[in-house]
C-alpha cells in the first residue's frame, strides 16, 4: 500500500570515475535521518487519521443516538414538557437521565426545554417546599451517588446554557426572581435551589462546578449583563444572579463547608472578586461577604499566595479595568465592615496590608481604580493605644500610603474622604496619643507609627476641606468639631516644627533610611518624613484659610514655639534651613517677624537700585484733574529697573500752575494715595464691589475700556510700587482676588465673598432631597454685564446636559469655578504680570490673603495715638510736657477715625500708619514750633507740614479750641501743597 519505489529505475553511474561507495558519510547519515523522520510522520499521520475517523464516527453515532433519544423524549414527555410531573425528577425516572444525555447548550430547542424544566422544577418545589424529596424520593443514603451525579450535571447544564446564550439574554441576566416569564430567571432560580448550603449535596455540587470552571463561566455571564444593569435594577431587591453568588460564596473550604481543595485559579476570589464594581452590581452580596467571616477567610487565603497571587488572576477585561485593580477596589470596599469587629481587626489589617501591597507594588501604576477603605476605631479605652492598636493602624495606613502614591488621586480621594470613616478614625487615634502624652514620645524618634497615620490623614482631610461648605464646617462641625480642629492644629504644628527644625538641628542631615515594612518595599523613613512635612504644611495652610474666613482659634496657635531671633536672622539668608521653612511653612513664624523679613528684603533692593539711580531720577509732572491718565502715560514708559528706582512728582493745579513744594518723598506718597484711590474707584469701571464693598476685577471691563488689559497691567504695577516703597494704600480687595496674586485656585467656600445669594442657592442644591432633574437645570451659566446677557456652557454640550442628583456636585463646583476663577482669569493674569515686575512671588508666598491685605492697607490698629505720641520727636522749643503738645494729643484723641486718617495723611502723606507701629516710621514723626513767639499774627497761621520729613509745623496756640479749629481746617482744606 505504501510502496513508492520505481522498478524501472536504473543504477546510476558516476561518469567522473567515483564509486557510489565513496559518498560522503555525513550525507548518507543525514539522508537516512530524513527518511526515518518521513516514515515516522507518515505513521503519525495515519494514526491521527484513524483517531479522527474513530472520533467522528463515535460523535456521529452519539449524535444519531441523541437525536433518536430526543425524539423519544418528546414523545414521552412532550416537546414543552407537558407530560412531566413531580415523579419525573425522582431516582426511578429516566427523565433527567435522557435529557442530560442529549442536551446541547447551543441547540435552541434544547435550551427552551431546559427553561421549561426549570420552571416546572421551581413550581414543584414551591408547592412542596422540599427539593431533596423531589430528587431523592424516600432514602437519600441509598441513592446519593445517582442523585448527586444528576444534580451536579443539571446545575452545570444550567450554567452552560446561560453562558452559551448570554448575549441574547443580556437584558435578563440581572433581573429579580419575580420575572419568571423570561428565560434566564428560571435557570438562575433553580441554581439557587440546587446549591442551597442547607442541602446535603451542596458542597459536592459546588466542588464539581469549581472543578469544571463553572465560576469562570459565571464571571463572563456577569460581565455581559453588567453593562445594562442600570436599565432594570430594582431598588432594595436582589437579582437572581446575586442569589446564586450568595449561595456559592460561603464555600471557602472551612467549616461548615466540606469542599476539598479548590484550584485557586478557578476560585470565587480570582474569578468573581476581580469583576469591576462588583458590589455596585450586588450590594446585598457585599454585606454578606463583609459582615460574616467570609472576607477574613478570603483575604487570608489571598495573603497566603503572596506574590504568586498576581499569576492566579484571570485575563484583564480591558486596559481600563485590570484584574488586580478591580480586586483591590472590591477588597477595600468591604474591609471597613469586616474591620469593625474588634476581635479580628488586628489580623484583618495585617492580611489586608499584605494583599493590597502585593497588588500595588508588584505591578505598574494603574489608570483606574475605585478603591475605598474603612478601618475600625481602635481600642476605645481612656489609656493610650496599645501595641496592637499601633500595629493595626500602621498596617492599614501603610497600604493606604502606597495606594495614594500608586493610584490616581482624583479617583480615590473622594472615596476615602466620603465613603469611609478614615478621617475621624485616624483623628481619634492621634488625639488619644496626644491626650495620653504618647505623641511626644513618638515624635522623639523616627518610628513610622506616627509618620504613616499623618501621611494618610492629612491629604484625605485636606481633600474634604476643599469640598465641604461653610455650614458643614462651622455650624454642623463636620467631619471634625471645631474643638478637635484646635487640638489638631497644635499637634500638626508640633509635628511640622519637629520635622523641619528640631530633627534637622539635632541630627543634621543624617536621617536613617530605615525601611518601613508596612508601607512596602523601598519606602524609607526619610522619604516618608519628607512627604509628611509637605502634606502637614498644606493642611495647616488650608486650616489657616478657614480660620481667616471665620476665626475659631487664635492666629498664634499656628506659630511655632521655637521661633527666636537666631531663627529670624537665618531666615533672611537664602539656602539656609530657616529660609526653607519660611518658604514651605511661613505660618510657623509670627506675622510681625515675617513683615520685618519682607521689609528688609525690600529695603535691600531699594538700596541697590537707589544708589544706581541717584542721577537718573524719574520725574513725573501730574495734573491733579487728570492724575490717572498722566500717571499711566508716564509710568508705562518706564523699564523694570526704572520702576525700582526713585520717582519724583510735581503736581499741577487746575490753573496749570505747579504746586509749591519739593518732593523729598512726601509728595510721591500723596501721589500714590491719590492715584490708587482714582484707579481702583468702581466708577472707573475696571473694578467692581462685592456686597461687603471689597474690590475685584470687573468681568465686563472690556465693554468700558478698549485697552482694559493694559490698564490692569498698569494697576498691578502701581500696587506693587506702593508696596515696594512701603506706602500703605486704602484699597480693600476681595479675598478671592488676592488669591490670584498668590496664584492660588478659588473654591466653593470663597463664593460667599463674591455672591452670597448664588452661594445659598448652590448649597440648597447640594442638600436638596428631591429629584433635581425636575428643576430643569442645565450645565450652562448666564452672565449679565451692563444689561447684556450671554450664556456660557460649563461643559462641552452643557446646553443639553441636565443637572441630576448624580452630577449636581460637579455642577455646583463648576459654577463656583466660573464665577471665582474663569470670569476674571484674563484681568487677573495681566494684573499679576504688572505686580510681579516689582514684587517677587517668594515674598508674597510668605503671607496668606488676610495678611496680604494688611501689607497693602495696614490695620486700623496702626492709628494708635498713644503709639504715635510714644515715638515722636520735638523741635523748635517744644517738649513732650509743653502745654501746646498736651493740647494736641488731647485733640487727636478726640478726633474721629476719619479725621485721624486725614491728620496722618497731612503730616506723612499717607492716611495709614506703618504696619508694625509708628516705631517704624522713617523718619520718626516730629512736631516743630512754627513761630518763636505767640503773637497775634502767628496765632492766625494754620498748621503746615513737610511730608517728606514727617514734620508738623505747629504754631503755639493758646487754647485747645483754637488748636482744634485750625488743625481741622488744615487737614480738610485739601489744598495740596499750596497750603501755607
* Active site members: 948
Alpha helices, DSSP H, located in 212-274: 214-226, 229-232, 240-249, 268-271
- Write the burial class of residue 642 (CB in 10 Å: 0-12 exposed, 13-18 middle, 19+ buried): middle
SS3 617: coil
Tell me which residue of 823, 783, 777, 813 sits closest to 798, measured CA to CA: 777
Determine the straight-line distance between the first and last CA of the chain, rounded to whole angstroms: 139
Tell me which residue of 862, 856, 909 sits closest to 731, measured CA to CA: 856
Q: How far apart are CA 465 and CA 680, in angstroms?
A: 33
- Transcribe 555-609 into DSSP letters: GGGGS-TT--HHHHHHHTSTTSHHHHHHHH-GGGS-HHHHHHHHHHHHHHHHHHH
Write the DSSP symbol of residue 236.
Answer: T
> Per this entry, what is the length of the chain?
980
Using CA atoms, how far residue 388 sits from 353, 384, 445, 519, 769, in Å, is 15, 11, 19, 17, 42
What the block records as the C-alpha cell of 96 is 433527567
Helices and strands in the chain: count of H runs, count of E runs: 43, 10
Using CA atoms, how far residue 574 sits from 376, 564, 842, in Å, is 46, 18, 11
Q: Which residues contact 248 (CB under 8 A, 6 or more apart)?
A: 195, 206, 209, 215, 218, 268
Q: How far apart are CA 79 and CA 71, in angstroms?
A: 9
What the block records as the C-alpha cell of 979 is 497750603
Please name the residue that has the C-alpha cell 491629604.
459
Widest Cα–Cα separation across the chain: 160
Tell me the Cα Rg of the chain.
Answer: 43
SS3 620: strand
- Helix H or strand E segment including 623: strand 618-623
Q: How far apart are CA 590 and CA 556, in angstroms?
A: 7
Q: How far apart are CA 672 and CA 649, in angstroms?
A: 10
Angle ∠(606,611,615) on CA atoms, nearest 5:
120
- Helix H or strand E segment including 350: helix 345-361
Q: How far apart are CA 349 and CA 425, in angstroms?
A: 14
Using CA atoms, how far residue 599 sits from 593, 596, 606, 730, in Å, is 10, 5, 10, 19
SS3 874: strand
Q: Which residues contact 800 (CB under 8 A, 6 or more apart)?
A: 778
What does the buried/exposed string (b/e) look like for 117-139 if buried means 16 or more CB atoms within 10 Å of the residue's CB? bbbbbbebbeeeeebbebbbbee
Distance of alpha carbon 233 from the chain centroid: 30
- Characterise 317 by phi-psi region: left (phi > 0), alpha (psi -120 to 50), beta (else): alpha
Alpha helices, DSSP H, located in 748-787: 756-766
Amino acid at each position: 500500500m505504501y510502496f513508492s519505489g520505481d522498478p524501472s529505475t536504473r543504477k546510476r553511474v558516476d561518469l567522473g570515475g567515483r564509486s557510489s561507495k565513496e559518498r560522503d558519510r555525513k550525507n548518507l547519515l543525514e539522508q537516512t535521518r530524513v527518511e526515518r523522520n518521513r516514515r515516522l510522520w507518515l505513521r503519525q499521520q495515519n494514526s491521527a487519521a484513524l483517531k479522527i475517523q474513530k472520533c467522528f464516527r463515535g460523535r456521529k453515532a452519539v449524535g444519531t443516538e441523541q437525536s433518536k433519544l430526543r425524539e423519544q423524549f418528546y414523545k414521552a414527555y412532550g416537546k414543552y414538557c407537558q407530560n412531566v410531573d413531580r415523579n419525573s425528577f425522582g431516582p426511578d425516572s429516566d427523565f433527567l437521565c435522557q435529557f442530560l444525555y442529549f442536551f446541547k447548550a447551543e441547540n435552541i430547542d434544547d435550551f427552551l426545554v431546559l427553561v421549561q424544566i426549570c420552571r416546572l422544577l421551581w413550581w414543584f418545589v414551591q408547592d412542596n417546599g422540599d427539593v431533596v424529596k423531589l430528587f431523592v424520593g424516600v432514602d437519600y443514603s441509598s441513592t446519593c451517588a445517582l442523585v448527586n451525579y444528576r444534580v451536579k450535571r443539571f446545575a452545570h447544564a444550567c450554567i452552560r446554557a446561560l453562558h452559551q446564550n448570554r448575549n441574547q439574554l443580556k437584558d435578563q441576566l440581572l433581573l429579580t426572581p419575580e420575572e419568571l416569564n423570561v428565560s434566564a430567571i428560571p435557570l438562575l432560580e433553580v441554581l439557587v435551589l440546587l446549591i442551597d448550603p442547607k442541602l446535603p449535596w451542596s458542597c459536592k455540587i459546588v466542588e464539581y462546578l469549581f472543578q469544571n470552571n463553572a465560576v469562570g463561566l459565571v464571571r463572563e455571564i456577569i460581565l455581559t449583563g453588567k453593562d445594562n444593569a442600570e436599565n432594570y435594577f430594582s431598588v432594595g431587591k436582589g437579582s437572581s444572579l446575586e442569589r446564586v453568588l450568595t449561595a456559592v460564596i460561603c464555600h471557602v473550604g472551612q467549616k461548615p463547608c466540606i469542599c476539598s481543595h479548590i484550584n485557586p485559579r478557578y476560585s470565587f476570589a480570582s474569578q468573581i472578586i476581580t469583576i469591576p464594581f462588583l458590589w455596585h452590581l450586588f450590594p446585598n452580596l457585599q454585606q454578606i461577604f463583609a459582615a460574616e467571616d467570609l472576607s477574613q477567610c478570603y483575604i487570608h487565603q489571598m495573603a497566603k499566595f503572596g506574590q504568586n497571587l498576581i499569576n492566579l488572576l484571570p485575563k484583564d477585561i480591558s486596559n481600563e479595568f485590570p484584574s488586580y485593580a478591580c480586586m483591590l477596589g472590591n477588597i477595600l470596599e468591604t474591609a471597613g465592615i469586616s474591620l469593625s469587629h474588634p476581635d479580628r481587626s488586628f489580623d484583618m489589617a495585617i492580611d489586608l496590608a499584605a494583599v493590597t501591597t502585593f497588588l500595588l507594588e508588584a505591578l505598574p501604576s494603574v489608570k483606574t481604580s475605585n478603591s475605598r477603605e474603612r478601618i475600625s476605631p481602635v481600642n476605645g479605652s481612656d489609656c493610650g493605644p496599645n501595641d496592637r492598636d499601633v500595629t493595626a493602624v500602621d498596617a492599614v495606613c501603610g497600604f493606604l500610603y502606597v495606594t495614594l502614591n500608586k493610584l490616581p488621586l482624583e479617583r480615590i480621594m473622594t472615596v476615602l474622604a466620603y465613603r469611609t470613616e478614615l478621617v475621624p478614625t485616624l483623628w481619634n487615634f492621634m488625639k488619644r496619643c496626644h491626650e495620653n502624652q504618647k505623641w511626644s514620645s513618638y515624635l522623639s524618634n523616627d518610628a513610622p507609627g506616627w509618620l504613616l497615620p499623618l501621611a494618610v490623614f492629612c491629604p484625605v482631610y485636606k481633600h474634604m476641606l476643599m469640598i465641604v461648605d461653610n455650614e458643614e464646617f462651622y455650624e454642623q462641625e463636620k467631619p471634625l468639631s471645631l474643638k478637635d480642629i484646635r487640638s489638631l492644629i497644635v499637634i500638626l504644628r508640633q509635628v511640622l516644627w519637629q520635622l523641619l527644625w528640631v530633627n534637622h538641628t539635632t541630627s543634621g542631615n543624617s536621617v536613617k533610611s530605615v525601611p518601613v515594612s508596612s508601607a512596602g518595599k523601598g519606602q524609607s523613613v526619610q522619604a516618608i518624613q519628607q512627604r509628611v512635612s509637605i502634606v502637614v504644611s498644606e493642611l495647616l495652610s488650608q486650616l489657616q484659610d478657614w480660620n481667616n474666613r471665620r476665626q475659631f482659634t487664635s492666629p498664634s496657635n499656628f506659630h511655632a514655639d521655637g521661633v527666636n531671633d537666631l531663627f529670624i536672622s537665618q531666615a533672611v539668608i537664602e539656602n539656609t534651613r530657616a529660609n526653607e521653612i519660611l518658604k514651605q511653612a511661613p505660618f510657623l513664624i509670627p506675622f510681625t517677624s515675617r513683615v520685618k523679613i519682607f521689609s528688609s528684603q525690600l529695603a535691600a533692593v531699594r538700596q541697590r537700585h537707589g544708589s544706581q539711580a541717584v542721577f537718573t531720577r524719574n520725574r513725573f509732572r501730574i495734573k491733579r484733574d487728570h492724575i490717572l491718565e498722566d500717571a499711566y502715560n508716564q509710568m508705562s514708559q518706564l523699564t523694570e529697573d526704572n520702576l525700582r528706582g526713585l520717582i519724583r512728582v510735581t503736581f499741577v493745579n487746575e490753573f496749570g500752575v505747579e504746586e509749591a513744594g519739593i518732593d523729598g518723598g512726601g509728595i510721591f506718597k500723596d501721589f500714590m494715595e491719590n492715584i490708587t484711590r482714582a484707579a481702583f474707584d468702581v466708577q472707573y469701571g475696571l473694578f467692581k464691589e462685592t456686597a461687603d464693598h471689597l474690590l475685584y476685577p470687573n468681568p465686563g471691563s472690556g465693554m468700558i475700556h478698549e485697552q482694559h488689559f493694559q490698564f490692569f497691567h498698569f494697576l498691578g504695577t502701581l500696587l506693587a510700587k506702593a508696596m515696594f516703597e512701603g506706602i500703605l494704600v486704602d484699597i480693600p480687595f476681595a479675598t478671592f482676588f488676592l488669591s490670584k496674586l498668590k496664584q492660588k485656585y478659588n473654591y466653593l467656600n470663597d463664593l460667599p465673598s463674591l455672591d452670597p445669594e448664588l452661594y445659598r442657592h448652590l448649597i440648597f442644591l447640594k442638600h436638596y432631597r428631591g429629584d433635581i432633574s425636575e428643576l430643569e437645570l442645565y450645565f450652562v451659566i448666564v452672565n449679565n454685564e451692563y444689561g447684556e446677557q450671554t450664556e456660557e456652557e460649563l461643559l462641552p454640550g452643557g446646553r443639553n446636559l441636565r443637572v441630576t442628583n448624580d452630577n449636581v456636585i460637579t455642577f455646583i463646583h463648576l459654577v463656583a469655578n466660573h464665577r471665582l476663577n474663569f470670569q476674571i482669569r484674563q484681568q487677573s493674569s495681566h494684573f499679576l504680570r504688572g505686580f510681579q515686575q516689582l514684587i517677587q512671588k517668594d515674598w508674597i508666598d510668605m503671607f496668606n490673603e488676610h495678611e496680604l491685605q494688611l501689607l497693602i492697607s495696614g490695620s486700623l490698629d496702626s492709628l494708635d495715638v498713644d503709639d504715635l505720641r510714644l515715638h515722636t520727636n520735638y523741635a523748635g522749643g517744644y517738649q513732650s510736657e509743653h502745654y501746646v503738645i498736651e493740647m494736641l494729643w488731647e485733640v487727636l484723641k478726640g478726633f474721629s477715625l476719619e479725621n485721624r486718617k486725614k491728620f496722618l495723611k497731612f503730616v506723612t502723606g499717607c492716611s495709614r500708619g506703618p504696619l508694625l507701629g509708628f516705631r517704624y516710621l522713617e523718619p520718626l514723626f516730629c512736631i516743630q514750633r512754627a513761630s518763636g513767639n505767640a503773637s497775634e499774627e502767628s496765632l492766625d497761621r494754620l498748621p503746615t507740614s513737610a511730608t517728606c520729613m514727617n514734620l508738623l509745623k505747629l504754631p503755639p496756640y493758646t487754647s485747645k479750641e483754637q488748636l482744634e479749629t485750625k488743625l481741622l481746617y488744615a487737614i480738610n482744606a485739601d489744598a495740596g501743597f499750596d497750603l501755607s
